[in-house]
């Protein structure tokens, strides 16, 4: 029996008036036919047979489609207009993985706010973002869309994105509904291949993959998208455990769930069902509300009702979930005056935010002999080399359907502007593309290097080498990039390597060939200014890695919060393949967990990033070495800027539960704070720890804490060694 209060609400009253065809219409999300073909759906709009459209961004077309819905349809229910607004609209921000490198939730919220304003100006009112998949396999192309490998960082930044998109009020003139995706576990796709299966024990699912979604829903996310992937044998789009038990019963989510593109129809391809009708039945009974792109709901709901394989109560609940979101968005009070007005926006202001986001996303990974920042007065000739130095499109990254490359500024342009009064710039492409295996430009590149004071080398991945369905089995530099680096190394000139990529790359084999390394991800519209500001010292780099960098592809998965194992590798136990004696005896005593042909540590750890100054951590203190379930501990450390310039540092807090009913990670991020310190100044940075920071899903699948000893670190990355110890006691 339905709660009678539902039927007295505006949504309930509307459902009571709806025919079955109109109800089914609300469950349909169709791809816009575009252009003149839009006429083909107008009759369906008038009849209420379509509730949502994706990929229509022409404002006049959107205005006309919405007009038909509110003036010519019986129930006057407007459309949801969906679009992949992933990291910007016209103004493109760094890819989400790059934004995560800022570790700056306030800035990330601003980026999402700008994206919402620009998308809403074209009639879009719903975005399929943020993506909250935890990814520890950078072969997966969609790692570019993630916020990295850590549940805590992803939770904080993902919630900030939701707030940015939706604003203080989802019905606001500049607000759009967020859709958190992909629910759930998609980032663990086997072999790092898109659309692949995932096998995740429930304990790991709850401790690692689900927390960011829960945090986003608590932040008010209006909608959820299911994953393409098969989770433990049951595809997410028909997974009752995810959609009913977790999402509805445990988290009390009151928005609606939409499938990913045709992910209901392809349940049969995955082998769960025998046809479209069974696919619709499985998805509906599992808790799906809206179907994207395919038509299994539209084609089979009536028959399934007649056969009593689904219930009318289930259909009504699906419609209620969708209309409740439309009500929150103000769509059920949509009037003609509001329909015809799309706001203008301040593009220059948006570009300033994009520049700040790009600067804060850049991570300085290497800086031998303090080569950076470059001093313009010491330079006469600068060689700028590489296919990504002057490409307005490629710097934008994956999923930028509406990005305007005409407003992009490239690094070459910005560097040339910097040098106008001090040095000349010689540009050589070096390679046709990042994938090129030609040596056509190598000699020209070497000649430019010989004539220069410094080489600024722009390599990495074109945007198409990451993103959906663009996974790689080998994440070293593609094409002949390593050969180009080797050729330039022969010139003896200092090399600053700026890498633009959609994932962390395996760089062990080239890291010693360059003098400085700036990891730029794909920084978006304002790439050029941001990179030049870093290279020439107008801005001290502050980015920190949101994901661990492997040395070689074969190390994957490698991540900071690994389990210790019974035989963890140590410096004493590590024995490289080149050091093995001939005809050595095979023994097990004393062996530990590592690969013979690479070091057991990553190339760069999670949370790492250099600055143009140095930060020293000291004097770690705890307010008590005992914590009760009702109490709190204050943990602090002194951070000192020991360099000669002001800069920003991200202070990170890590905790380890030394013994639990299940084995626990060697470290877990539990907090971070950004501070700005003048040269020579110190600051005491404090964190509060309560029992909530120590809870986890234990072996009995209960979310709880367990008394025992804990280690705590405060430092500048996950390799922090400034440690204290406390005990959680039960009283």
**Is the CB of residue 559 less than 8 Å from the CB of residue 151?**
no
Residue (of 660, 664, 670) closest to 706 by Cα position: 660
Q: List the structure tokens of 571.
A: 């410096």
Residues 6+ apart with CB under 8 A from 241: 234
3-state secondary structure of 116: helix
Interior/surface letters 615-625, b for 16+ CB within 10 angstroms, e for the rest: bebeebebeee
Cα(682)–Cα(722) distance, rounded to whole angstroms?
Answer: 16
d(CA 354, CA 522): 12
Q: What is the DSSP string of 414-429?
A: HHHHHTTTT-EEEEE-
d(CA 63, CA 340): 6
Residues 6+ apart with CB under 8 A from 324: 11, 254, 255, 256
Active site residue 260: yes
Cβ atoms of 517 and 365 closer than 8 Å: yes
As a dihedral over the C-alpha atoms of residue 137, residue 139, residue 145, residue 146, rounded to 10 degrees, the angle is 10
**Active-site residue, selected from the candidate residues 133, 150, 260, 693:** 260
Q: Please report the beta strands in 464-555, taking only residues with DSSP state E, as ranges in sequence order.
A: 495-500, 516-519
Helix (H, G, I), strand (E, B) or coil at 692: helix
- CB 153 within 8 Å of CB 100: yes
Cβ atoms 16, 293 nearer than 8 A: no
For residue 673, what are the β-bridge partners?
651
Dihedral of CA 371/372/375/376: which sign?
positive
Burial 695-731 (b: 16+ CB within 10 A, else e): ebbbeeeeeebbeeebebbbbbbbbbebebebebeee
Beta-sheet pairing, 223-226 with 179-183: parallel
Structure tokens at 677: 């310190």
Quickly tell me which residue has 């129809």 as its tokens: 265
List the catalytic residues.
Answer: 260
């Amino acid at each position: 029996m339905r709660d009678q209060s539902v039927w007295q609400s505006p949504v309930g009253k509307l459902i009571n008036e709806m025919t079955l065809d109109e109800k089914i219409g609300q469950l349909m999300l169709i791809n816009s036919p575009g252009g003149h073909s839009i006429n083909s759906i107008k009759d369906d709009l008038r009849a209420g047979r379509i509730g949502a459209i994706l990929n229509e961004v022409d404002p006049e077309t959107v205005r006309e489609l919405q007009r038909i819905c509110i003036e010519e349809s019986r129930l006057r229910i407007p459309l949801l207009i969906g679009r992949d607004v992933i990291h910007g609209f016209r103004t493109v921000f760094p890819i989400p993985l790059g934004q995560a490198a800022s570790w700056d939730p306030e800035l990330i919220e601003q980026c999402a706010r700008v994206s919402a304003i620009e998308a809403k100006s074209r009639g879009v009112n719903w975005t399929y973002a943020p993506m909250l998949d935890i990814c520890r396999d950078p072969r997966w192309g969609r790692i570019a869309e993630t916020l990295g490998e850590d549940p805590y960082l992803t939770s904080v930044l993902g919630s900030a994105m939701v707030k940015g998109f939706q604003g203080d009020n989802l019905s606001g003139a500049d607000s759009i509904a967020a859709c958190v995706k992909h629910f759930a576990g998609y980032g663990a796709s086997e072999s790092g291949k898109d659309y692949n299966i995932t096998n995740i024990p429930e304990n790991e699912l709850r401790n690692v993959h689900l927390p960011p979604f829960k945090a986003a829903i608590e932040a008010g996310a209006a909608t959820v998208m299911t994953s393409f992937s098969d989770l433990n044998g049951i595809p997410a789009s028909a997974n009752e455990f995810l959609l009913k038990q977790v999402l509805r019963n445990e988290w009390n989510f009151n928005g609606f769930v939409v499938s990913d593109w045709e992910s209901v129809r392809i349940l049969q391809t995955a082998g769960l069902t025998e046809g479209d009708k069974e696919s619709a039945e499985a998805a509906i009974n599992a808790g799906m509300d809206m179907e994207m792109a395919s038509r299994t709901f539209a084609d089979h709901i009536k028959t399934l009702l007649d056969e009593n394989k689904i219930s009318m109560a289930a259909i009504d609940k699906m419609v209620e979930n969708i209309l409740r979101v439309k009500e929150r968005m103000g769509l059920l009070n949509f009037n003609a005056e509001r329909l015809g007005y799309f706001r203008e926006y301040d593009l220059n202001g948006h570009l300033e935010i994009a520049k700040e986001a790009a600067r804060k996303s850049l991570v300085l990974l290497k800086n031998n002999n303090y080569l950076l920042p470059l001093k313009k007065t010491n330079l006469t000739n600068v060689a700028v080399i590489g296919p990504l130095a002057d490409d307005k499109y490629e710097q934008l990254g994956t999923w930028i359907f509406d990005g305007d490359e005409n407003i992009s500024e490239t690094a070459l342009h910005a560097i040339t502007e910097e040098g106008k009064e001090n040095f000349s710039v010689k540009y050589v492409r070096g390679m046709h593309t990042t994938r090129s295996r030609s040596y056509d430009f190598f000699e020209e590149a070497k000649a430019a290097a010989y004539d220069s004071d410094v080489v600024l080398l722009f390599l990495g991945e074109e945007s198409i080498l990451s993103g959906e369905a663009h996974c790689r089995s080998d994440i070293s530099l593609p094409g002949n990039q390593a050969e180009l680096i080797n050729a330039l190394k022969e010139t003896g000139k200092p090399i600053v390597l700026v890498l633009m990529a959609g994932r962390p790359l395996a760089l062990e084999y080239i890291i010693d060939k360059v003098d400085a390394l700036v990891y730029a991800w794909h920084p978006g519209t304002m790439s050029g200014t941001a990179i030049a500001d870093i290279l020439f010292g107008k801005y001290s780099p502050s980015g920190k890695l949101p994901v661990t960098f492997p040395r070689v592809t074969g190390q994957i998965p490698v991540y900071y919060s690994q389990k210790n194992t019974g035989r963890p590798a140590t410096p004493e136990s590590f024995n490289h393949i080149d050091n093995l004696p001939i005809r050595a005896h095979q023994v097990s005593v004393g062996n530990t967990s590592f690969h013979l042909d690479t070091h057991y540590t990553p190339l760069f750890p999670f949370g790492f990033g250099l600055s143009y100054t140095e930060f020293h951590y000291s004097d770690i203190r705890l307010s008590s070495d005992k914590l009760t379930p009702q109490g709190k501990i204050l943990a602090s450390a002194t951070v000192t800027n020991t360099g000669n310039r002001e800069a920003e540092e991200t202070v990170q807090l890590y905790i380890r539960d030394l013994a639990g009913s299940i084995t626990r990670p060697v470290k877990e991020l539990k907090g971070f704070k950004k501070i700005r310190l003048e040269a020579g100044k110190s600051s005491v940075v404090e964190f509060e720890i309560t029992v909530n920071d120590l809870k986890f899903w234990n072996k009995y699948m209960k979310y709880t804490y367990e008394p025992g000893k804990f280690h705590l670190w405060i430092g500048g990355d996950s390799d922090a060694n400034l440690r204290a110890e406390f005990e959680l006691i039960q009283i």
